[in-house]
Amino acid sequence: MTRLSTLPSTREQARRALLLIGAPASLRLVADVHGALFDGDLTVAALVALVRSEKKGHEAGAAYRICPALQPDLTAARGLLTLSTWPLANRVANPPADLLAAIVRIAEFIAMREAGGATVAALLRRLAEEVPGGPEAYAVQAPAALADAARAALAGIPVPPLPPETTRRWAALEEQQQLFGLPRVPQQRGRG
């Protein structure tokens, strides 16, 4: 017996959540945002399998890929996802700033949609804990206040521009390395 599913693929569910988040995000955040705000069955385990599959089955010219965020040294940032269509500056991880920017976008989206329910409330509470003054802002009056608190906290975090050398180095990489990062160099142990 064949079952027909009307749910979007794991890849499309991840894309939808990442488009809303708009910054490198943890697997847990991607799954939680999608679970609270969209229909689907996205899980952290499914995201891990998806990234492995994307890397193994990479095809040149695909419209988009779900890929790891990059560290400033262009290695993959473990546990953080981005979209391949984002420019390099948006794919390089800056965890404190990325999380606050994501909280602003998510809270504003929830406020615009006037979304509610237990999963949305749980997501907002969890995100509020990441923002200085967030739990108080959330307690006062929900998503718009949380977005304001996250925006104020984000204004105090310096976001240095990418060095031109990083951009040049990235442009010289093969497409697979641009998407999934350079291999990590194992650390050598010194002799004692």
At 152-169, the pLDDT tens digits run 999 999 888 888 999 999
Whose tokens are 């979304």? That residue is 115
Confidence of residue 76 (pLDDT cuts 50, 70, 90): very high
Contact 133, 59 (CB under 8 A): no
Give me the mean pLDDT over the 27-47 stretch.
Answer: 94
The dihedral over CA atoms of 89, 92, 93, 96, expressed in degrees to the nearest 10, equals -20
The pLDDT assigned to 1 comes to 47
pLDDT score of 61 more than 90: no
Give me the mean pLDDT over the 48-75 stretch.
Answer: 87
What global pTM score does this model have? 0.87
For the chain, what percent of residues have pLDDT higher than 70? 89
Confidence of residue 57 (pLDDT cuts 50, 70, 90): confident
The pLDDT assigned to 160 comes to 85
The pLDDT assigned to 106 comes to 95
Contact 119, 96 (CB under 8 A): no
Bigger pLDDT: 2 or 156?
156
Residue 53 is given by DSSP the state H
CB atoms within 10 A of CB 97: 17
The pLDDT assigned to 60 comes to 62
pLDDT score of 191 more than 60: no
Q: Long-range CB contacts (< 8 A, 24+ apart) of 78-85? A: 79/26, 79/27, 80/24, 80/25, 80/26, 81/14, 81/18, 81/24, 81/25, 81/26, 81/27, 81/30, 81/47, 81/51, 82/18, 82/24, 82/25, 83/15, 83/18, 83/19, 84/179
Contact 150, 131 (CB under 8 A): yes
